[in-house]
Structure 1
Amino acid sequence: MGGSLISALGLDIGQKRIGVAGCDRLGLLATPLTTIYHESFDKDVEMLKPIVVEREVSILIVGLPYLMDGQLGTQAQQVQKYSDRLQQTLQLPVEYVDERCTSLEAKEILVSRKRSPSRNKGLIDAQAAALILQRWLDDRVFP
């Protein structure tokens, strides 16, 4: 049997919420899982840990909000700091994906599915996490 199984977790880390997405074991398809509402770092980890264990996650894929000119702004630096803490706490490697426009794409996907993104911003975050993870998966399969 060739091919390795992947268990990556996609994260869309915002100031108020973290969108979480997972992928199938073949690493082909990302799907939204849940949204974590920030209370504290420890609470966030408490919510993430069972997902990491249950899905046997081996890597975290984090969306990095580059500025439109390709620079890393304040928000991106905060995401990196937060991701560093997650990496140390969960003992998992982190890879970053350019997440520009993923929230906009996520809204469009939800609207096309007749879901109301304006009423549930958590849905947008989870869908954005799936887009982030899907970009990473696609880069691995179709470099």
Structure 2
Amino acid sequence: REQETYGDQTLQAINDRLMELAKAEGVTLEAKHSNSEGELVSWIQEARGQFDAIVINPAAYTHTSVALRDAILSVTVPTVEVHLSNIHQREEFRQHSYLAGVAIGQISGFGAFSYELGVRAAIDHVRRAREKSG
């Protein structure tokens, strides 16, 4: 991947930092990675009833995958879309997200920190929803 666009942190380093954040927040986090659209769809579908939120970087599937969009819509698990780069400052074809309309929010352009912001947003969303429901 282009280091100037996506940064130089490894996925393992990002995941390690997210695990530390989850531990500090008292939540459980499961990190997964796949380049397979079908596998991502399966994981999203399996999240119903197992996870309180999803944080996803759909990468190039952002701009192409109706299947990911439909999976997120069908499971009704709050989903935060994250991107390392600011997709809205990139090529025109990268500025459209099929997921944005079904995600509770989108965070992009902060490099690896986008993941941390996404996890924090998901935790906050779930906690506020629980407070509302009593």
Higher-strand-fraction structure? 1
TM-score (norm 2): 0.40
Higher-helix-fraction structure? 2
TM-score (norm 1): 0.38
Q: Which has the higher contact order (CA 8 A, sep 6+)?
A: 1
